[in-house]
Structure 1
């Protein structure tokens, strides 16, 4: 790290040596002298760092050097900051306090102080330089970090040679002959062998997706706590945060989620070898009503694999890649896709691969390393490094990965080491990571025109190519969004970071204390992150301990509370004072903590470049914050109470990211943001609401956006009703902002306050004309727009040919839309609350066949169509007829609701994942059925939801043969559902009928329909709150594949028919709180019990009466048994075994109690353990 640090200091010195401020303060000679000394030391650092692992004295020498170089960096950064403030004053941008600083007397005093500090650092470095002579270091020429070869446009997602492993494990998972309900299949192998990758391949396999309704992935690592794991599983299933609930409550929630489902759970990277913990976790699933539970475990430990494996299952031991597979993977990483490698290089690569033992992580890393080496001599040098000693232990693999690290350019070394701030398996946000690197000064611009964040992304790509990062996800625009580190790479990052970078974690067992604090060397620590682990733990748990510890870490440059961990507990005012004394901070992340912002002394934090105050509750920000002239990132995301920003915000001329999204109370943006020419992300622009507002004069107008040419990503502009005229809108110059991808234009709902600003349709249309976007725009959303049409003049709309999404919401006066025909990339169209719109398209579109070329098709890319609450909408087109309109070829999600006058829809090729029709007319239902065109003999139609419909779309029955799931809900006017309709749903597997007041399920005796034709594929039937249901229709008895039946709140259903015994595939019957029927099925003496006793799982009134084919009885029966026989404690399994031993202690007892019912202890009186001593 010393070499990288020395290089950065030299670049600072070179920059300051030519600055006129150094001449003004007479510092040039001191700076040049310091520059020469650092250069002299830098020449030996490559050899010194190589020896440091073997020579403790060299290591101590390097530590001394690093400490002084850090001090030099701080001093030079302080100097640069004051230079920047002086330049601001010269530009008349800054306030009086800087003018005071730049007065003649202060300039002289400051110059003397800086000169003295430079001389002090020079003296320390000269002493260190003298001491180096005892080590006889070799000198090497120092070259700038050269650019790597930008040969590859993307990072390949390469997986080689795991098909046979994948097939074997899938076979084990799908096998149905196991006696156990919970089947565990372990995968074992050393680190880097590809266990996680193999598990991912299996998890995403199409066969697995089809078989398992519910799939959950949890990375366990060292935190094998059953409660924590259940929470993670529930959050994965429900996509919602789960509170700090008792384990019993979590278990009930889990059982509800997995009931009647086939479950696949992956527990990745398991280290727990405590059988008790494992059994408790597994039993949480064993007592559920899931159809089948398969758990796939990945681990490095054979003992853990044997402990977790289901009986008769042999853990799958993963082997290394073969020579051929290793070479194939290596070539893809070293040479890229489609490149014919030189045979000489291949032969050297084969020698290297023989020392990699087929470990994919090592093969990938070595390939990535050699991709940056251009000459044959460089390849040979790598092959002759210390690979000969490589074995197959994790420590040996780590040594090889260290070789790849050693060959990184010095700036990339610092970037990689800094990544140890994140805990293992943490999902790292790539944009945040690059911002943190920027804040620490690790990124160097390759040219004056290049942007730091773009260079930072290239840094990340280079590290990704060399396998230092993995598991990258991308956003809709193809930008890298998140990544993870392999746990061995994380071990390497921690090792090379040494004592300078630490991730502290909070004890999740309840004490809330900071763990691994003893590892922190307060003299050497520079960067700290705090991981709360349990995402529901509050900041206050550590508030008493963290500030006291951090107050002693006087050299701290990073304090980062990891995102989404802190949850808004209030910090004491003293914390602000403590944090304000951390004057060397570059990164300060307090997202989510309730902080008293007034307790901070911001002018002391002059080095600060990254400040995260997101999701906090402050209402204002102090003007003093504008003195943070180095600030690059200011994150105020979702500070929902914030209403006022500092007036001098425009002084922060280095600001690159200003995130105000979700600041719903913010009144306006202060004037002066036009000075923030480096801004790249500024997603939320609020116009002042009225000229009468006191903030209006100091508020930014749209014209200030003109100079922000680097804006990219998303831009939301609100309060557009207060724009004066078209010229004001044009001043924003949106048509030149080529990097914007999403534009959201929001007017406010019309009310008495803003009525004067709503100056008619023509005015609002002219404002929209002035806001013409660049053709590169991909998404446009508008809300409460008051114009009657969208501009088409000057190519306003027709030029936006790259649009993938259009959303129009509550545009109540909009009467027409432009032609959508040119939008060949459009994927999503959302229309909501367009009360004046009668037709989506006013012009006829020429028909084309489904097999036509995409250029001739209408909206060939459209996948999602949503039309809701358009009360006067009549149809899709004013002139089209059903037989002439071209079909939309790719729509998979369709949602139409709250359009009572709508009678026609476009034609669709049947390729649906989900269709929802809510509160629509019978005519529309018929039109929908007639609109469906089958593209092939195997159309796809996954799900149809009918809500508030008057009738079933009868015209569509012939076209619904591929429908898999049907939900009929809240259809209060629907009267019948007869076999003549349902017989066409031959592929239907799930039917839900709920909350339909007058719906009757007819037997269909008068229909010319064979009962065997009705719903032959049905597996799940749910009927809730259908009061007209008197008896189950007879045609259900021929649904021979029915597996799950749930009846709830059907008060007029008086019995269950005896033909239920013919449904031999039925596995689960659920009667939740069903009154009369429940009483007939609650126990073995119930009148309907003979009709259902063959069903393995029966739940009545929220309690299992029968489970796994075993009769459990009712609560009353258990209570009666308990009172008669004290040894049977509420439960399913109680064993008492007397084991008499011939010892002095006399007889001993072994008692095992498990699977107790919920409140059995309330009925136990026990005097057994008197005068007993526990061992």
Structure 2
């Protein structure tokens, strides 16, 4: 017995007829042909008693699909997976209950699809995954979705006509993953979302008219990952977010109207990753951030009006990675940064407002990577940098006003992954003793035309960079293993 039926990439297929006996040549109009097909549907349904997988993909000209008729589909009593892609003439799924055995339902690129009947979902007691993609006329999910009590994964993407989601969404008691993206007319999320107590992952992206998130979001007691991206009208996050005790990852990106985060952010005791990216009006982090003792990664990128970071940043006792990039008005880093004793990676990039770095930078004894790029007004590095005994990678680039390197760099014997200084046009002299670096480095000297030539006398043994003061303004020093 057939268990899998797949029609794939048949762009010229226009008819799927049901014939029970050899046809004689005759002129049969479409209405007669459809009536004959309907009369034979009971035969078709009995042909596939063990069909588990039905896939219809990229048959754009197909007008009638007998397998998706009400009579046939409710008799496919072994069906587990139904995949419908690129059926451009499909307007609706059949007005009948789908087989209770259905576990996965995928609908994609059905440009004429407008609705999904309520009754189609009423018996789906085994459905675990439902995805609908690129159905631009699709206007709403049916209230019947509340019957999907076993559903674990729901994804809605690129449905431009979707304006709301049903309150019944909150009845999906098993839902663990909810992803909603590229729904340009979606203006709100249902309040019932607060009842999704099994939800672990919530992603919302590219919904530019979404102005607010439900206050009940803080009731999602199992939520571990929250990502909100490119929701330009979103001006704030609900205060209730502070109650997400299981939250491990919070990513906010491309929300140009967002100005700050809730004051109670510090109550997120499980938070390990916090990323704020391309939020052009974002002006401050809450002081409560100091209480995020589980935080391991903090990335702040593309926040041009951010001027300061809270002093409490130094209390992030588990922080391993800190990256600050494209924050053009950031004028200083807090001195408390010296207390980040677990920090392994520090990146400061494209922050032209920075003129100095904290003096206590040399206290970061776990730091393995330090990258400073595009900080054009930075005039010096803190002298304590020679105490970074765990440092493996040091990159200093495009710091146009940097005039000298700190003394004691020769003590950084752990530097074996990369040591690069480039495009620092005011840098003229090396610190005393830099020539005592370990023998496993190569020294690149820059010629007057800006091209680096390896001095063979220095390759693979103790490096010397006497004459650094004579380097051209485009000079590059690079050490690598």
Task: Return the TM-score normalized by structure 1.
Answer: 0.31
Q: Equivalent of 1:874, from 355, 359, 367?
A: 355
Alpha carbons 1:649, 1:672 under 8 Å: kept: no
Q: Report the CA distance shift for 1:844/1:580 in structure 2 as closer, same or farther (over 3 A).
A: closer
**Which of the two has higher C-alpha Rg?**
1
| Whole-angstrom CA distance in 2 between matches of 1:526 and 1:967 | 71
Q: Report the CA distance shift for 1:578/1:807 in structure 2 as closer, same or farther (over 3 A).
A: same
Equivalent residue number for residue 818 of structure 1: 311
SS at match of 1:604: helix
Residues 575-654 of structure 1 aligned to structure 2 (within 5 Å):
576-577=92-93, 582-584=98-100, 586-590=102-106, 592-598=108-114, 600-608=116-124, 609-618=127-136, 620-630=138-148, 632-633=151-152, 635-636=154-155, 638-639=157-158, 641=160, 644-650=163-169, 652-654=171-173
Instruction: Give the CA deviation at 1:621.
Output: 3.5
SS at match of 1:798: helix
Task: Return the TM-score normalized by structure 2.
Answer: 0.67
Residues 315-326 of structure 1 aligned to structure 2 (within 5 Å):
none
Q: Equivalent of 1:525, from 24, 45, 50?
A: 50
Q: Report the CA distance shift for 1:549/1:817 in structure 2 as closer, same or farther (over 3 A).
A: same
Q: Report the CA distance shift for 1:1000/1:895 in structure 2 as closer, same or farther (over 3 A).
A: closer
| Whole-angstrom CA distance in 1 between matches of 2:49 and 2:402 | 76
Equivalent residue number for residue 266 of structure 1: none
Equivalent residue number for residue 379 of structure 2: 903
Instruction: Give the CA deviation at 1:606.
Output: 1.8
Alpha carbons 1:944, 1:967 under 8 Å: kept: no
Equivalent residue number for residue 781 of structure 1: 275
- The answer to whether residue 395 in structure 2 is matched with residue 921 in structure 1 is no
Instruction: Give the CA deviation at 1:1017.
Output: 11
Instruction: Give the CA deviation at 1:800.
Output: 0.8
Residues 92-171 of structure 1 aligned to structure 2 (within 5 Å):
none
Residues 325-404 of structure 1 aligned to structure 2 (within 5 Å):
none
Alpha carbons 2:97, 2:123 under 8 Å: kept: no
SS at match of 2:248: strand
1:1055-1104: per-residue Cα shift (whole Å, max 9, x none)?
xxxxxxxxxxxxxxxxxxxxxxxxxxxxxxxxxxxxxxxxxxxxxxxxxx
Q: Equivalent of 2:188, from 657, 662, 669?
A: 669
Q: Report the CA distance shift for 1:591/1:977 in structure 2 as closer, same or farther (over 3 A).
A: same
SS at match of 2:114: helix
Q: Equivalent of 1:912, from 375, 387, 392?
A: 392
Alpha carbons 1:797, 1:818 under 8 Å: kept: no
Alpha carbons 2:196, 2:220 under 8 Å: kept: yes
Equivalent residue number for residue 839 of structure 1: 332
| Whole-angstrom CA distance in 1 between matches of 2:451 and 2:313 | 38
| Whole-angstrom CA distance in 1 between matches of 2:479 and 2:371 | 28
Q: Report the CA distance shift for 1:830/1:816 in structure 2 as closer, same or farther (over 3 A).
A: same
Q: Report the CA distance shift for 1:647/1:979 in structure 2 as closer, same or farther (over 3 A).
A: closer
Instruction: Give the CA deviation at 1:941.
Output: 1.9
Q: Report the CA distance shift for 1:923/1:647 in structure 2 as closer, same or farther (over 3 A).
A: same
Alpha carbons 1:626, 1:646 under 8 Å: kept: no
Q: Report the CA distance shift for 1:659/1:949 in structure 2 as closer, same or farther (over 3 A).
A: farther
SS at match of 1:573: coil
Number of equivalences: 422
Q: Equivalent of 1:712, from 202, 224, 236?
A: 224
Instruction: Give the CA deviation at 1:626.
Output: 4.4
| Whole-angstrom CA distance in 1 between matches of 2:333 and 2:64 | 59
Alpha carbons 1:910, 1:933 under 8 Å: kept: no
1:579-603: per-residue Cα shift (whole Å, max 9, x none)?
9774445334326544533154342
Instruction: Give the CA deviation at 1:639.
Output: 2.5
| Whole-angstrom CA distance in 2 between matches of 1:813 and 1:684 | 25
Q: Report the CA distance shift for 1:589/1:1016 in structure 2 as closer, same or farther (over 3 A).
A: closer
| Whole-angstrom CA distance in 2 between matches of 1:673 and 1:702 | 9
Instruction: Give the CA deviation at 1:830.
Output: 1.5
| Whole-angstrom CA distance in 2 between matches of 1:825 and 1:523 | 58
Equivalent residue number for residue 680 of structure 1: 199
Q: Report the CA distance shift for 1:864/1:544 in structure 2 as closer, same or farther (over 3 A).
A: farther
| Whole-angstrom CA distance in 1 between matches of 2:445 and 2:184 | 40
1:649-683: per-residue Cα shift (whole Å, max 9, x none)?
54544361452354363543333224533341352
Instruction: Give the CA deviation at 1:840.
Output: 2.0
- The answer to whether residue 179 in structure 2 is matched with residue 660 in structure 1 is yes
| Whole-angstrom CA distance in 1 between matches of 2:97 and 2:88 | 15
1:1023-1050: per-residue Cα shift (whole Å, max 9, x none)?
xxxxxxxxxxxxxxxxxxxxxxxxxxxx
Residues 1137-1152 of structure 1 aligned to structure 2 (within 5 Å):
none
Alpha carbons 2:347, 2:371 under 8 Å: kept: yes
Alpha carbons 1:928, 1:953 under 8 Å: kept: no
1:386-416: per-residue Cα shift (whole Å, max 9, x none)?
xxxxxxxxxxxxxxxxxxxxxxxxxxxxxxx
Alpha carbons 1:815, 1:837 under 8 Å: kept: yes
Equivalent residue number for residue 43 of structure 2: none
Equivalent residue number for residue 248 of structure 2: 741
Equivalent residue number for residue 809 of structure 1: 301
Alpha carbons 1:736, 1:773 under 8 Å: kept: yes
Equivalent residue number for residue 865 of structure 1: 346
Instruction: Give the CA deviation at 1:842.
Output: 2.5
Alpha carbons 1:583, 1:606 under 8 Å: kept: no
Q: Report the CA distance shift for 1:799/1:605 in structure 2 as closer, same or farther (over 3 A).
A: same
| Whole-angstrom CA distance in 2 between matches of 1:577 and 1:978 | 66
SS at match of 2:343: coil
Alpha carbons 2:418, 2:480 under 8 Å: kept: no
Alpha carbons 1:741, 1:779 under 8 Å: kept: yes
1:979-1026: per-residue Cα shift (whole Å, max 9, x none)?
6978655379xxxxxxxxx99999xxxxxxxxxxx99999xxxxxxxx
Alpha carbons 1:626, 1:649 under 8 Å: kept: yes
1:8-47: per-residue Cα shift (whole Å, max 9, x none)?
xxxxxxxxxxxxxxxxxxxxxxxxxxxxxxxxxxxxxxxx
Alignment RMSD, CA only?
Answer: 5.1
Alpha carbons 1:830, 1:865 under 8 Å: kept: yes
Alpha carbons 1:669, 1:686 under 8 Å: kept: no
Alpha carbons 1:911, 1:941 under 8 Å: kept: no
| Whole-angstrom CA distance in 1 between matches of 2:284 and 2:111 | 47
Which structure's residues are more often helix, by fraction?
1
Instruction: Give the CA deviation at 1:744.
Output: 2.7
1:216-271: per-residue Cα shift (whole Å, max 9, x none)?
xxxxxxxxxxxxxxxxxxxxxxxxxxxxxxxxxxxxxxxxxxxxxxxxxxxxxxxx
Q: Report the CA distance shift for 1:1017/1:581 in structure 2 as closer, same or farther (over 3 A).
A: closer
Instruction: Give the CA deviation at 1:715.
Output: 4.3
| Whole-angstrom CA distance in 2 between matches of 1:540 and 1:729 | 42
Q: Which has the higher contact order (CA 8 A, sep 6+)?
A: 2
Q: Equivalent of 2:81, from 559, 566, 569?
A: 559
Residues 203-214 of structure 1 aligned to structure 2 (within 5 Å):
none
Residues 735-1134 of structure 1 aligned to structure 2 (within 5 Å):
735-745=242-252, 748-749=255-256, 768-783=262-277, 784=279, 789-792=284-287, 796-811=288-303, 812-843=305-336, 845=338, 858-877=339-358, 879-880=359-360, 885-892=362-369, 894-905=370-381, 907=385, 908-909=388-389, 911-912=391-392, 917-921=396-400, 923=402, 926-927=404-405, 931=409, 933-935=411-413, 939-942=415-418, 944=420, 946=422, 948-950=423-425, 955=430, 958=435, 959=437, 962-963=440-441, 975-976=449-450, 984=458, 986=460
1:860-901: per-residue Cα shift (whole Å, max 9, x none)?
443332222211112321x44x8xx22443424x44332101
SS at match of 1:830: strand
- Structure 2: where are the runs of 5+ without partners? 14-45, 463-471
1:601-640: per-residue Cα shift (whole Å, max 9, x none)?
3422323334533542436542525444225245335427
Instruction: Give the CA deviation at 1:804.
Output: 0.9
